[in-house]
Amino acid sequence: MPAPDITVLEPAAQRGHIAKRVSILDAAANVFCREGYGGANIDMIAAEAGVSRQTVYNHHGDKTNLFVAVVREITERTNAGVFATLATFPDQPRDLEADLIDFAMRLNRNCVCNRDGKFLRKLIQTEGERYPELFETWRTDGPGKTWAALAARFARLAHAGLLEMDDPDVAARQFLALINADLQMSFVLGITPTEEELRTAATNAVRTFLRAYGKSGRQPAENAPSPPA
């Protein structure tokens, strides 16, 4: 009874109810992610949620339903996170390189390297072909719009004379590919990169990106004792 409000809007005994609901969803996400759909079983999920098996069925019907609910939730949360991060893009950069590096770090840290990112990578890889409709909203609302939005930001920077590029869509995809280049091995091993690895990866990526698309002539090469100008 944490909130004995007077004009109760909430149905009734739903405080602990929804607590259990999210607990189940959360546990299910972990187990599905760890074991895959086929390898996951309801008892594991119930145990990890601290709930009886029957309660799982009460809340979500059957296994397929539960899986769909998990995918939907994580998809929505991930897409929201991506766009929140996209909103921090340096539209009016003070130091373009530094600002892009920070942006790249935020993108990797908040959207790619967290639990949800890992889950989606894995699930889409394993079940994406079998249940394409399941991930359709992810596909259209996620990468599709992400690329377009990022491309628009780059186009604006180019229009402002800070970048020079032919096709902003290609540049956006390449930016995303570059910021993950150094993290591939971590992804494969399931390791969460340290903050330092994140910074190194972002720095390498942005330097190369700016060497290719920066306006101010070729950068003097990352940290090398390059020839004088």
Per DSSP, the three-state class of 214 is: strand
Stretch that binds DNA, among 44-52, 120-128, 158-166, 180-188 (CB under 7 A): 44-52
The answer to whether 63 contacts its own copies (rule: CB under 8 A) is no
The answer to whether 64 contacts DNA (rule: CB under 7 A) is yes
Q: Which of DNA, its own copies, none is residue 9 near (CB under 5 to 8 Å by kind)? A: none
Between CA 221 and CA 211 the distance in angstroms is 8
Alpha helices (runs of H) in the chain, residue ranges in sequence order? 15-39, 42-49, 53-60, 63-86, 96-107, 115-127, 136-139, 145-159, 168-181, 184-189, 195-213
The answer to whether 177 contacts its own copies (rule: CB under 8 A) is yes
- Give the residue with the Cβ less far from its own copies, 3 or 229: 229
The answer to whether 190 contacts its own copies (rule: CB under 8 A) is yes
**Is residue 224 exposed (0-12), middle (13-18) or buried (19+ Cβ within 10 Å)?**
exposed
HEC string of 107-121 equals: HHHHHHCCHHHHHHH
Interacting residues with its own copies between 6 and 35 (CB under 8 A):
35
Question: 94: how many CB neighbours lie within 10 A of its CB?
Answer: 7
Between CA 121 and CA 133 the distance in angstroms is 16
User: Which listed residue (27, 33, 36, 41) binds DNA by CB under 7 A?
Assistant: 41
| Total residues in contact with its own copies, by rule CB under 8 A | 47
Between CA 109 and CA 202 the distance in angstroms is 11
Residues that bind DNA (CB under 7 A): 1-2, 4, 6, 8, 11-17, 20, 40-43, 50-55, 57-59, 61-64
Residues that bind its own copies (CB under 8 A): 35-39, 121-122, 124-126, 128-129, 132, 139, 143, 164-167, 170-171, 173-174, 176-178, 180-182, 184-185, 188-190, 204-205, 208-209, 211-213, 217-218, 221-224
